[in-house]
């Protein structure tokens, strides 16, 4: 699937499709080059990717249904129709579009949600992550949400916060052993991870 292919589309307008991993071909290649060369685009892409990871990673108990999805799309269209000055943070319509696309993805994969550990924010999960080591990670600008999510699931890591203004994520590990294994694996994932550091636990 590809996003809009109009030559008039600016990079900021296509970031939502790159964050959802629905941009392909020449459009994707050109946009990835623009993101790699522009810190503001990298920060915005990181924010959009984090929003999708958080929404897809949260355990889904009930589906919002067609009404909820239609409401999200209505809000997205309403916000997009308002002319706003450019900013480094993603606009409301982009967040709404991310939410709508994430809900569609969740609805399509409901039968498979129990095949592995969920990726959740620490304050939204059933367990407390007040103790234990954390890792500070910077993902590559060209890393897709699918690649990041698969890596977090593989290592059983939880997003505690992020991305920061510098594009850094804080990830929680179960214990010191898990953190050490995650450190080795993340350092080896050169196409997905740019840097990683381990912080001490309580």
* pLDDT digit string, tens, across residues 9-22: 577 777 878 877 77
Out of 48-52, 169-173, 193-197, which region has the weakest mean confidence (pLDDT)?
48-52
Asked if 200 contacts 170 with a C-beta cutoff of 8 angstroms, the reply is no
Q: Same domain for 139 and 86?
A: no
Beta-bridge partner residues of 198: 135
pLDDT recorded at residue 102: 54
Express each pLDDT in 173-184 by its tens digit.
999 999 999 999
**Chain mean pLDDT for the chain:** 69
Residues 83 and 47 in one domain: yes
Range of the domain at 18: 11-115
Q: Considering 57, 84, 115, which residue would you say is the last residue of a domain?
A: 115
Two tokens at 169?
A: 């994520």
Whether residue 176 is contained in a domain is answered as yes
Statement to judge: residues 188 and 92 lie in one domain: no
Are 128 and 110 in a shared domain? no
92, 162: one domain:
no
pLDDT at residue number 202? 52
Judged against a pLDDT cut of 60, whether residue 114 lies above it is answered with no
- Identify the domain boundary among 64, 99, 115: 115
Q: Which residues of 16-40 are buried (b: 16+ CB within 10 A; e: fewer)?
A: bbbbbbebeeebbeebbebbeeeee
CA distance 112 to 115: 6
Edge-to-edge strands, sheet with 158-161: 158-161, 168-172, 134-139, 193-199
For residue 4, count CB atoms less than 10 angstroms from its CB and return exposed for 0-12, middle for 13-18, buried for 19 or more: exposed
Q: Which domain-ending residue is among 54, 82, 115?
A: 115
pLDDT at site 64: 46
CATH number of the domain where residue 194 is located? 3.30.70.80
125-170 pLDDT, tens per residue?
Answer: 444 445 578 999 999 888 888 889 899 999 999 888 888 888 889 9
Kindly state whether residues 107 and 24 are assigned to the same domain.
yes
111 and 145 fall within a common domain: no
């Amino acid at each position: 699937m590809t996003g809009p292919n109009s030559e008039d589309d600016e990079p900021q307008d296509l970031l939502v499709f790159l964050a959802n991993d629905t941009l392909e071909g020449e459009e994707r290649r050109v946009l990835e080059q623009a993101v790699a060369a522009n810190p503001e685009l990298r920060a915005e892409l990181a924010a959009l990717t984090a929003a999708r990871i958080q929404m897809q990673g949260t355990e889904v108990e009930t589906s919002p249904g067609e009404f909820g999805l239609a409401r999200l799309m209505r809000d997205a269209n309403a916000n997009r129709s308002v002319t706003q000055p450019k900013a480094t943070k993603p606009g409301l319509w982009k967040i709404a579009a991310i939410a709508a696309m994430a809900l569609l993805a969740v609805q399509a994969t409901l039968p498979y949600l129990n095949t592995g550990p969920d990726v959740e924010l620490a304050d939204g999960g059933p367990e407390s992550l007040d103790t234990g080591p954390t890792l500070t990670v910077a993902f590559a600008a060209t890393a897709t949400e699918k690649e990041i999510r698969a890596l977090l699931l593989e290592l059983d890591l939880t997003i505690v916060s992020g991305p920061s203004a510098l594009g850094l994520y804080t990830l929680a590990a179960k214990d010191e052993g898990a953190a050490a294994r995650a450190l080795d694996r993340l350092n080896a994932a050169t196409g997905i991870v740019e840097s990683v550091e381990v912080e001490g636990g309580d």
